[in-house]
Amino acid sequence: MVETGSVERLVSGLHRAQALRFGDFVLKSGLASPIYIDLRVIVSHPPLLSQVADLLFQTAKNARIKYDSVCGVPYTALPLATIICSSNQIPMLIRRKEAKNYGTKRLVEGIVNPGETCLIIEDVVTSGSSILETVDVLQKEGLTITDAIVLLDREQGGKHRLEERGIRLHSVCTLSTMLEILQQQQKVDSEMVEKVKKFILENVFKPAEQNSAAPIKQMCKEISFSARAQLPGIHPVAARLLKLMEKKQTNLCLSADVTDSKELLQLASSLGPSICILKTHIDILNDFTLEVIKELRTLADQHDFLIFEDRKFADIGNTVKHQYEGGVFKIASWAHIVNAHVVPGYGVVKGLKEVGLPLQRGCLLIAEMSSQGSLATGDYTKSAVQMAEENSDFVFGFISGSRVSNKPEFLHLTPGVQMQAGGDNLGQKYLSPQEVISKRGSDIIIVGRGILSASNHLEEAEMYRKAAWESYLSRLTVHTQD
């Protein structure tokens, strides 16, 4: 055990450095929290940084852990691992979050000796996801991982989850102990302490079923994607989509609005593992051929995503039937999903259904749009919902800016999503993934320019995937029972 006096001095120092703050905060996941912990600030307080590093090392020493090297979880734990290794002459390894696209292209820097044991250092543990990501990378290099040392255990299920994977977690301090010390030091009142403790209890991560890598939470009113996939009468396309979303831990749809078929296939190949849907505008391809579609379907099968042709059908039933089934593009033969405006009335759905229903295709109705001045509001949106409910054997969801139906059988996909809210000069309005999923109740974010304009498409796509998935998990948390 670490000396009580040392922990008390640590907690006091962290509070003084504003690494611990109390109030009303919105976390990265979109969850409202009464406490905010940001240990990144300690790099600007050298004595505190050294104190933390020393306590982490002493914790490992007291636990009599045997190890050959140390790896800090990127990025906050990297300076801590550096100090520990430099002060105690221990070999250090650095895990990259992404491989370089030049040089050795390695994910782990340093001398790796397969079979040796590496000790993991982390600043804060909540669900244990960050540590497990590092464990997976190091184990692929042939290293053995048995233990992890953390400064602060938030007591939200991370320790148990790591134990499920055979990793022993040793903490310098728990959040409960930290709260008690701060209350004794009169730095926080009893009301706030109880508020934080209640928050911890209501947001405990449980081990996921079927060896899923993501934490799950017990639900009350909100139903998980996997549970929704099992609902009686669920559309087959919706069921398949919900299952692959849970399996891949992604609710990201890529809007691949490109004009070159080679670029389209490259995006499908490189980003396929990160997405649940690839959305196309097939009629803007300058070099469209059915061979391109054949390759795209192969990639969809390989990476387990669905293809959504954003055709926005908006004509009378007989016309859309021919547009869907025939012509140059033969959309019904390859697109799992299409969409339609409800302006023409029920005929548009009836015409599409005659073609798509025998093929087990699915349709989304445009209930709301993300462009400024859109007329898809009010009664128009209500009519779209009614039309969907009356044609649920073919329609399984909506294109909308928020949840427009409370029936869990229907999915909601929201376009106009970027990390920073705002808009462009052509009337497009952008919302963040957290706003769309956590607050507005949508299921899937549709992202185009936010990813395609980035220099590293995969890195950007992963950032959106994680933000959207964490927002989904936080939405489940809001409805968690004690």
Distance CA 26, CA 182 (A): 22
The angle subtended at Cα 23 by Cα 21 and Cα 27, nearest 5°, is: 80
Cβ–Cβ under 8 Å, residues 202 and 195:
no
Q: Is the peptide bond between 430 and the residue preceding it cis, with omega within 30 degrees of 0?
A: no
Buried b (16+ CB within 10 A) or exposed e, 386-416: ebbeebbebbbbbbbbbebbeebbbbbbbbb
Residue 332's CB is within 10 A of a number of other CB atoms, namely 19
The question of whether 315 is a catalytic residue gets the answer: yes
Residue of 38, 257, 304, 315 marked active site: 315
- For tokens 């450095």, name the residue: 17
- Indicate left, alpha or beta for 268 from its phi (over 0: left) and psi (-120 to 50: alpha): alpha
CB-based contacts of 454: which residues, under 8 Å, 6+ apart?
A: 460
Q: DSSP character for 327?
A: T
Distance CA 76, CA 82 (A): 11
94 backbone dihedrals φ, ψ, rounded to 5°? -115, 125
Cβ–Cβ under 8 Å, residues 316 and 348:
yes
The angle subtended at Cα 12 by Cα 8 and Cα 16, nearest 5°, is: 170
H or E element, residue 181? helix 175-184
Residue of 312, 330, 350, 439 marked active site: 312
Distance CA 179, CA 196 (A): 9
Cβ–Cβ under 8 Å, residues 411 and 388:
no
C-alpha closest to that of 275 among 236, 297, 305, 230 = 305
Distance CA 154, CA 53 (A): 19
Instruction: Provide the angle, in degrees to the nearest 10, between the axes of the packed helices 46-62 and 77-88.
Output: 70
Residues belonging to the active site: 312, 315
